[in-house]
Structure 1
Amino acid sequence: MLLSPQAERNWESLCLMLEDVLDDQSHRQLFALELGSGTGQHVIRFAQKMPFVTWQPSDIKEESRDSIKAYIAATNAKTVLQPVHLDASEPWEKWAGLTHKSCDVIVAINLLQYSSFKTAEGVFGGAGEILKQNGLLITHGVYAINGTITPSCNERLDEEIREMNPEWGLPDIDVLRQLAFNNGMRMERIIEMEDFFKCLIFRKF
């Protein structure tokens, strides 16, 4: 089992955010895809807090998928499916056999800042195909706004990420809003989170 200190710190606030966003649908069973599930700490907590959601975790890395499997086994999670390999930069038809309009919710936590723009295009393109009408794409991370990054700690974070990979960096909310619209979604809410993080809520129309 892998352990992410950041995931341990922020799972509670993410659960509260998701419970609030999904509250009006808690009377029915939902199907949710998590992109880039990482260690698996988040999806296990989500399942414990929101039993009305069946979760499909995914990750590009085998070690992450192994960690997710270990968390599922350790917690006896009944509403978390076995993790699948999914590269969000690929066309949605290659997304682990997920079918057109099969998801109520797609969640991507701290994925976009550690991804190329091709991956961002893939996330929104895939979400536009796989989400049901009125389905939600929820992204969590740190963002630029209209080309500007504030405060200075976020500028430093952007520099650090770009040193890791020049194709990565803080995505711009305005660019993501346009990507969403081009794929049949509109940005509905921006939720302020801790440490200058934000959750962006996009709805399929």
Structure 2
Amino acid sequence: MQVPAAAERNKGPILAVLRECAGPGALRVLEVAAGSGLHAAHFARALPQLRWQPSDIDPRALRSIAAYVEATGLPNLLPPILLDVSQGWETWGGTQPASLDLLVSINMMHISELRCTEGLFRGAGVLLKPGAAGSSLPAWSFEISQAGGQPPAGGSALGVPGVTPGSSSRRNPAWGLRDTAMLRELAEANGLSLERMVDMPANNKSLIFRKL
């Protein structure tokens, strides 16, 4: 099992945001780009009403997630599925339209190509249930650094060790922080709206989108 230091540090603050999004009833959650699986295990343990489906495209991540699933034995933490977010929602492990209560993505957009971000919004627009007026769900939550701009000097992008806006673009020119205005436009084009932004540690933000 992988135990990334950044995931260990930010699991508490992200859980606090998820508690606000999640209601008391049974909810179906898809986590895109779940990475090591540390977050999935932590959230599933803390929120037993959530049926947590982790996913990733990296075989090493899938093995680590599977190890967490086996080690924790949590009944609401499902085995990971292979998911390429840049592909159509039809390939997302059999997830059906309007079947998700919550879609979670953490630390993905700045270290992936723009087509992945676009695919994430398209999938969210199809797979999330329509939101009832006054309901806190469904929503789409993800963490992004410094809404609308670059983090301060010395700040990290989304708390990933060694990854800053400059270093990520050097590793791959197609990577980099996404401007919040662009994300808002992508959301609206796919039937979602940006409900709020939550300040997080290390100059990060959690953005909460709601399916209209």
TM-score bracket for this pair, using the shorter chain length: over 0.9
**Residue matched to 1:21:** 21
- What TM-score do you get using the length of structure 2 for normalisation? 0.91
Quick check: 1:142 aligned with 2:169? no
Is the 1:11–1:42 contact (alpha carbons within 8 Å) kept by the matching residues of 2? yes
Is the 1:128–1:185 contact (alpha carbons within 8 Å) kept by the matching residues of 2? yes
**Residue matched to 1:2:** 2
Question: Cα distance, 1:72 vs. partner?
Answer: 1.1
Quick check: 1:107 aligned with 2:104? yes
19, 35, 39: which one aligns with 2:36: 39
Question: Cα distance, 1:121 vs. partner?
Answer: 0.3
**How large is the RMSD of aligned CA atoms in angstroms?**
1.3
Quick check: 1:70 aligned with 2:67? yes
**Residue matched to 2:192:** 185
**Aligned pairs (5 A) from 1:24-173:** 25-26=23-24, 28-134=25-131, 135-145=138-148, 148-154=149-155, 157-173=164-180
Question: Cα distance, 1:139 vs. partner?
Answer: 1.1
**Residue matched to 2:11:** 11
Matched to 2:196, the amino acid is R
Q: Deviations over 1:17-70 (max 9, x none)?
A: 111222xx21x1000000000000000000111011000000001111111111
Give ranges in structure 2 of 5+ residues lacking alignment.
132-137, 157-162
Say if 1:150 and 1:63 are closer, same or farther in 2 by CA, change over 3 A: closer
Q: Which runs of 4+ in 1 moved over 3 A?
A: none
Matched to 1:18, the amino acid is L
Matched to 2:182, the amino acid is V
Identity %: 37
Is the 1:144–1:170 contact (alpha carbons within 8 Å) kept by the matching residues of 2? no
Is the 2:155–2:202 contact (alpha carbons within 8 Å) kept by the matching residues of 1? no
Q: What CA distance in whole angstroms lies between the structure 2 residues aligned with 1:191 and 1:21?
A: 12
Q: Deviations over 1:50-109 (max 9, x none)?
A: 011000000001111111111111111110111000000111111111111110000000
Is the 2:147–2:205 contact (alpha carbons within 8 Å) kept by the matching residues of 1? no
Q: What CA distance in whole angstroms lies between the structure 2 residues aligned with 1:149 and 1:15?
A: 24
- What TM-score do you get using the length of structure 1 for normalisation? 0.94
Say if 1:143 and 1:94 are closer, same or farther in 2 by CA, change over 3 A: farther
Is the 1:143–1:171 contact (alpha carbons within 8 Å) kept by the matching residues of 2? no
Give ranges in structure 1 of 5+ residues lacking alignment.
none
Larger RCO: Structure 1 or Structure 2 (Cα < 8 Å, ≥ 6 residues apart)? 2
Question: Cα distance, 1:153 vs. partner?
Answer: 2.8
Question: Cα distance, 1:141 vs. partner?
Answer: 2.3
Equivalent residue pairs, number? 200
